[in-house]
Chains A and B, each alone.
Chain A
Amino acid sequence: PNKSYQKDEL
């Protein structure tokens, strides 16, 4: 599922 990946990168 293409869950809107949480932007955990800087």
Chain B
Amino acid sequence: MNIFRLAGDMTHLASVLVLLLKIHTIKSCAGVSLRTQELYAIVFATRYLDIFTSFVSVYNTFMKLVFLGSSFSIVWYMRYHKAVHRTYDREQDTFRHWFLVLPCLVLALLIHEKFTFLEVLWTFSLYLEAVAILPQLVLLQRTRNIDNLTGQYIFLLGGYRGLYILNWIYRYFTEPHFVHWITWIAGLVQTLLYADFFYYYFLRFIGGRGVE
């Protein structure tokens, strides 16, 4: 574990907590894409299949449970909780996210490190996470300005994988044989998708107004 990866995990945890805070306390999911949340639930479900078969550390297992639990509970809240569901913007959240799942699965079947069930699904989760934010970014453009909590959520979610890139650079130079092109390219694509959001976020942040 290095400082970049720890910072990345904490940023990711913070993004999830901000979203749960927003949904649980003010019972609102305005501006949040349910489709992105559903994709993230699939990402964690397919990435952490080894949670019971391979133990890395208490920290690792704990964080996996947090991300699994939070992503599924956010989907549950947005789908079935009356008060929260009422604030869900169904008309605007129309990105065909299922069209992202199949190409990622096909790509994982073609490009992976090992052709085993767990490895292919793990690779699929990497490709899917890279594009999972698209429905949210599209919704963002449609709903114009969003509240600060949603803006912070997206900022933290985009930032965590950027910190992971620093972690991969650090590990590449400090650990022999640490080369994982698939993870690196997927992580880079994922972070680059946030580029224009980051641009507007910093513009608004510097201007001291909400994210528009």
Q: Is the CB of B177 within 8 A of A7?
A: no
Q: Is the CB of A7 within 8 A of B56?
A: yes
How many chain A residues touch B (CB < 8 A): the figure is 10
Q: Is the CB of A10 within 8 A of B54?
A: no
Q: Which residues of A contact B50 (CB under 8 A)?
A: 7
Within 8 Å by CB of B56, from A3, A4, A6, lies A6
Residue of chain A at shortest CB distance from B63: A10
CA distance A3 to B167 in the complex (A): 20
Q: Is the CB of A8 within 8 A of B177?
A: no
How many chain B residues touch A (CB < 8 A): the figure is 20
B12 within 8 A of A: yes
Q: Is the CB of A9 within 8 A of B177?
A: no
CB contact under 8 A between A7 and B122, given known A1-B177, A2-B177: yes
CA distance A10 to B56 in the complex (A): 11
B64 within 8 A of A: yes
Interface of B toward A, CB cutoff 8 Å:
5, 9, 12, 50, 54, 56-57, 60, 63-64, 67, 113-114, 122, 164, 167, 177-178, 180, 183
Interface of A toward B, CB cutoff 8 Å:
1-10
